[in-house]
Amino acid sequence: MAKQLTAVLGTGQTHHRAKRTDVSMPGLIREAVDRALEDAQVDWPDIDAVVLGKAPDMFEGVMMPELFLADALGATGKPLLRVHTAGSVGGSTALVAATLIQAGVHRRVLTVAYEKQSESNAMWALSILPPFQMPVGAGAGGYFAPHVRSYIRRSGAPTHVGAIVAAKDRRNGALNPYAHLRQPDITVESVQASQMLWDPIRYDETCPSSDGACAMVLGDEAAGDAVPGGAAWLHATAMRTEPTTFAGRDQVNPQAGRDAAAALWRDAGITDPMSEVDVAEIYVPFSWFEPMWLENLGFAPEGEGWKVTESGETALGGRLPVNPSGGVLSSNPIGASGMLRFSEAAKQVMGRAGDYQVDGARTALGHAYGGGSQFFAMWLVGADKP
């Protein structure tokens, strides 16, 4: 049986900040949810089910937060599911919500993801050392920095490419009223002058720690048809997983990501992603992951992603604008970061991206990855029905 057509009816997000001490966890979530309901022009009785995602519970110290969030999520009397795939969770949560519509089970599903990082310290939470181990772990940056070094060595990329990404994404973030970091005056030179944190990753090439949430309302074909100005239609979705470590694993260009992208393009009927996709929101928490994922996703041949970045093709106005919203480098409420990528892709094809709208965007990619580059989630949305 064919999947039911599925559309994004509306999106919402919080103003992301280092500390949103003005709101509780439920209050933070509702800021995004209320905006999504308004954007979708629906009310609580229209929502059939709720799908929630967030990253590890250690970040807020609340086990199974979906229990105490049920009333804030309007889930009374409705199915409430929680999804967990580390940093990619915002993406996989949206995809789980989408399957409920694709399967014909529900007409409208609210999907939500959040993180309130200020309630603890993610670097601490990601560096907890079990007994018998060597205490060399240093958070996500410490995990990914050696693999970034491997990419630079393997591709022969000039060392300033990371700074190009960082300067671009932060300047894009300055166009986004919801972004945590808004730095219109940042330059490649100022990024290169910033402190080296996890050599080869500098301070300005690193995502911030943010409090924030993102929400979307997904709907079936009839609901999508009713969206004024047009919904964002799902053309294809893909998720793939692989173990964190095994002998011979390609940590720079993981197989699971390549497989997910190949399935996505196949299902969407895309043969040349670089020509056929108008804009991409890619999960780039450290600057170098832009060229790495350009290759992993098939936008560039292996070893040549950095050339696309260096040529300026990923900037606003370029051939494939990447992260016009400012991306993870501008806002990183971890659990929500993936859903932000998915919702920003939807906003582009709905023509609702404001000052960072890519002219004429008809087809957009939303992408997320998580764990030790082991969970991948992505969707391709379009202004037209597939």
Partner 1 sequence: MSAAGTEAPETPEAPLSAPLEVGFDYTRSVGPVLGEFVNALRERRILGVRGSDGRVHVPPVEYDPGTARALTEFVAVADEGTVLSWSWNAEPLDGQPVTRPFAWALIRLDGADTALLHAVDAGSPSAMRTGMRVRARWADEPVGHIRDLVSFVPADASPEPEPAPPSPPVAERGEGEPVSTVITPITLRIQHSASPEESRYLRALAEGRLLGQRCPVCGKVYIPPRGACPVDGVPTEEEVDLPDTGIVTTFCIVNVPFLGQRIKPPYVAAYVLLDGADIAFLHLVLGCAAEEVRMGLRVRAVWRPREEWSTTLENITHFEPTGEPDAPYESFAHHL
Q: CA–CA separation, 90 vs 328, rounded Å?
A: 12
Q: CA–CA separation, 7 vs 383, rounded Å?
A: 10
Nearer to partner 1, 74 or 208 (CB): 74
Q: Least separation, in Å, of the C-beta of 145 and partner 1?
A: 3
Q: Least separation, in Å, of the C-beta of 28 and partner 1?
A: 8
Residue pair 193/159 in contact (Cβ under 8 Å)? The answer is no
Nearer to partner 1, 249 or 352 (CB): 249
Q: Residue 168, Cβ neighbours under 10 Å: how many?
A: 28
Q: CA–CA separation, 15 vs 172, rounded Å?
A: 16
Nearer to partner 1, 72 or 226 (CB): 72
Q: CA–CA separation, 11 vs 340, rounded Å?
A: 9
Q: Least separation, in Å, of the C-beta of 154 and partner 1?
A: 7
Strand pairing class (49-54; 108-116): parallel
Nearer to partner 1, 116 or 341 (CB): 116
Residue pair 185/194 in contact (Cβ under 8 Å)? The answer is no
Q: Least separation, in Å, of the C-beta of 197 and partner 1?
A: 5
Cα 92 versus chain centre, distance? 10
Q: Least separation, in Å, of the C-beta of 317 and partner 1?
A: 34
Q: Least separation, in Å, of the C-beta of 25 and partner 1?
A: 8
Nearer to partner 1, 250 or 304 (CB): 250
Q: Least separation, in Å, of the C-beta of 39 and partner 1?
A: 17
Q: Least separation, in Å, of the C-beta of 136 and partner 1?
A: 4
- Per-residue tokens: 104: 């014909």
Nearer to partner 1, 193 or 196 (CB): 196
Nearer to partner 1, 19 or 266 (CB): 19
Q: Least separation, in Å, of the C-beta of 133 and partner 1?
A: 7
Q: Which residues bind partner 1 (CB under 8 A)?
A: 19-24, 26-27, 30, 44, 58, 60-61, 71-74, 76, 116, 118-121, 123-125, 127-139, 141-142, 145-150, 153-154, 195-201, 243, 245-248, 250-252
**Which position has the token pair 């079936």?**
220
Q: Least separation, in Å, of the C-beta of 242 and partner 1?
A: 9
- The interaxial angle of helices 161-173 and 289-296, nearest 10 deg, is 100
CA angle 157, 168, 126 (to 5 degrees): 75
Nearer to partner 1, 44 or 266 (CB): 44
> 134: burial class by Cβ within 10 Å (0-12, 13-18, 19+)?
exposed
Q: CA–CA separation, 182 vs 174, rounded Å?
A: 4
First to last CA, the chain: 16
Phi then psi for 65, rounded to 5 degrees? -60, -20
Nearer to partner 1, 20 or 240 (CB): 20
Nearer to partner 1, 9 or 50 (CB): 50
Q: CA–CA separation, 348 vs 8, rounded Å?
A: 12
- Specify the amino acid at residue 223: A
Closest CA to 309 of 263, 348, 274, 356: 274
